[in-house]
A = this chain, B = another copy of it.
Amino acid sequence: MGSFVSFVDRLVDKISEKRSILCVGLDPQPQWIPEEIFKEASEQVKDDENAKEITARAILIFNKAIIEAVKDLAVVVKPQIAFYEAYGSSGIWAFEETIKFAKKQGLLIIEDAKRCDGGDTAKFYAQGHLGEIDVFSKSGFVKEKGVDADAMTVIPWTGLAGLDHFIRIVKEKGKGIFVVVKTSFRPNSAIEQIPTAKGTKMWEEAALLIKQWAQRCGGKSGLNNIGVVVGATYPEEASKMREIYPDAFFLVPGYGAQGGGAEGAVAGVREDGLGVIVNSSRGIIFAYERSEKFKDKPENFAESAKKAAEFSRDELNQALEKKANLPW
């Protein structure tokens, strides 16, 4: 590893500092963004016809308000790129600006992109999202940062042909990846569940391989910069994952709106209280509209998100305390 503080160690520090294991998912579905924000956005756009740009600007206005509201309660924000790239270049602009803004607020960024390829393609994904890319300037080729997230999610299907490019950047640049091993969707992914010759399920064999590939990617905290995604909706699998890969950090989706409870979400935590970061998206950012507890008028969306984030942080900490030592 280089002379930097590696991703997983920065994550551990933030968790202790903020006393929170909450990650807020920035999944800005337009149908739930308050209409006033769209009106504000359309005033910013000269070309009335460019509905993608209006939508992208509305997303950015919305995200900034959410980030301001949750910045002291969450340690990480996780923008899901699907909700931005749907609007083409305008959407990606909003994605880039969201990340810049969240970084300035002291939040770590896990980019949820679930990329998967091999060879030079995987290299471009890894460099473009976590590292540096070659660009042509007036003085010839130079290196520039791409998205520059702190960590990103990846899919293991292509094996080391894909992952080795990400692992290299993890080692060289102090970044992290979370490999999607056990998703939160119900029913289970039929692919992850295919029975193997060893009597296990596919995802368990994938976890074993990833652990093996993650050698020499450990941080000083004793946790590994190659983490895994394990859904909150499958707590038994989370415990099994912890046995398979003891020093992995788990990124846990599915808590909140997808139906996973706080206890299920922390099922994979280690005795020292480390090793899980729990994501909630809709349940927080659209709490004003989507939550029973924090329903409110559209103009109060940010306040409502703040209350939902506070509630989630506390609920997760209580579940953590029941299960393990608190890490702070």
Contacts and interface: CB of A to CB of B under 8 A. Distances in A.
Contacts of A137: 48-49, 51, 54
A300 interface: no
Bin the interface of chain A by size.
35 or more
Interface stretch (A3-11, A12-20, A68-76, A138-146): A138-146
Contact of A85 (B92, B112, B116): B92
A118 B80 CA distance: 12
A268 to B, nearest CB: 20
B189 A157 contact: yes
Given A30-B141, A38-B136, A92-B85, A192 B157 contact: yes
Where chain A touches its partner, the secondary structure class is mixed
A205 B205 CA distance: 15
B192 A159 contact: yes
Contacts of A180: 116, 157-158
Interface string A80-102: 10110111111011001000000
Interface in A181-199: 183, 185, 187-192, 194-199
Given A30-B141, A118-B183, A157-B192, 14 more contacts: A30-B135, A82-B122, A85-B125, A114-B117, A116-B116, A157-B189, A159-B190, A159-B191, A159-B192, A161-B185, A162-B189, A190-B209, A195-B198, A197-B199
8 contacts: A31-B134, A51-B144, A82-B122, A85-B92, A86-B125, A89-B96, A157-B189, A159-B190
A213 to B, nearest CB: 9
Contacts of A88: 92-93, 96, 146-147
Contacts of A142: 51
A135 B87 contact: yes
Contacts of A127: 86
A121 B83 contact: yes
A136 B185 contact: no
A6 to B, nearest CB: 23
Most B Cβ at <10 Å: residue of A38, A51, A209, A258: A51
B96 A136 contact: no
B157 A124 contact: no
Contacts of A312: none
Contact of A205 (B87, B141, B194): B194
A256 interface: no
A198 B202 CA distance: 13
A183 B161 contact: yes
Interface string A187-228: 111111011111100100110010000000000000000000
